[in-house]
A = this chain, B = another copy of it.
Amino acid sequence: MPSLQFWFELASTYSYPAAMRVETRAAEHGVTVDWRPFLLGPIFQAQGWNDSPFNIYPVKGRYMWRDLERVCAKEGLAMRRPSRFPRGSLVGTRVACLGATAPWGPAFVRALYHANFVEDREIGAVDVVAGVLRDLGVDAASVLEQTQGSEAKAQLRANTDEAVARGIFGAPSFLVGEELFWGNDRLDDAIAWAARS
């Protein structure tokens, strides 16, 4: 089956509608999804930004929130602007790395985006992440203990390094072989490309 790499950052606004739809849309075209969590922070820092560009450039940020509202409305997705942005995504992203090949992985990612962008919860907090895992029937204590291990930490660093090496500069991004697509707006194009490959 053709496959698509879905590169996402849990704090990223436009990754939210992409994460909620990618699996269903891909399946409609016979494409499987390889979930690749990474951190945007180190990538932004390399560009000289110590915050989200949506905060650094307020005019762009104001537009983004309105646009995200429209995008979500169009896709029938709930959206409430979080009271804090961006939220820390380190713990959740390490969990997502561990879940990337587990049956609960995609559901965990979607639940965390929902917690952030619909329920306005502090997804950077360990107890919030634990609650989301428990709601999915996952052994939260065991998974969270694993996130402290060197393997989980190395996996996330490797993902972020690979993102940089492959020319990724924002989230969400999609890769089909060497072909890169950036942004929620490119989700359907990326899936069509994968289906043709």
A161 to chain B, nearest CB (A): 14
| Copy count, this protein chain | 2
Residues of B within 8 A of A74 (CB): 189
With beta carbons under 8 angstroms apart, the residue of B63, B169, B189 that contacts A167 is: B63
A181: nearest residue on chain B (CB-CB)? Answer: B67
Contact B63 A182 (CB under 8 A): yes
A4 to chain B, nearest CB (A): 16
Residues of B within 8 A of A181 (CB): 67
Q: How far is the CA of A57 from the CA of B185 in the complex (A)?
A: 21
- A contact residues, range: 20 to 34
Contact B189 A70 (CB under 8 A): yes
Is A66 interfacial (CB 8 A cutoff)? yes
Is A60 interfacial (CB 8 A cutoff)? yes
With beta carbons under 8 angstroms apart, the residue of B63, B183, B189 that contacts A180 is: B63
Contact A62 B185 (CB under 8 A): no
Q: How far is the CA of A145 from the CA of B127 in the complex (A)?
A: 69
Q: How far is the CA of A62 from the CA of B178 in the complex (A)?
A: 13
Q: Mark A70-88, 1 if CB is under 8 A from B, else 0.
A: 1000100000000000000
A40-91 interface (Cβ within 8 A of B): 47, 57, 59-60, 62-63, 66-67, 70, 74
Contact A169 B59 (CB under 8 A): yes
Q: Mark A23-44, 1 if CB is under 8 A from B, else 0.
A: 0000000000000000000000
Can you report 7 residue pairs joining A to B where beta carbons are below 8 Å apart? Answer: A57-B169, A59-B167, A63-B182, A66-B180, A67-B181, A67-B186, A74-B189
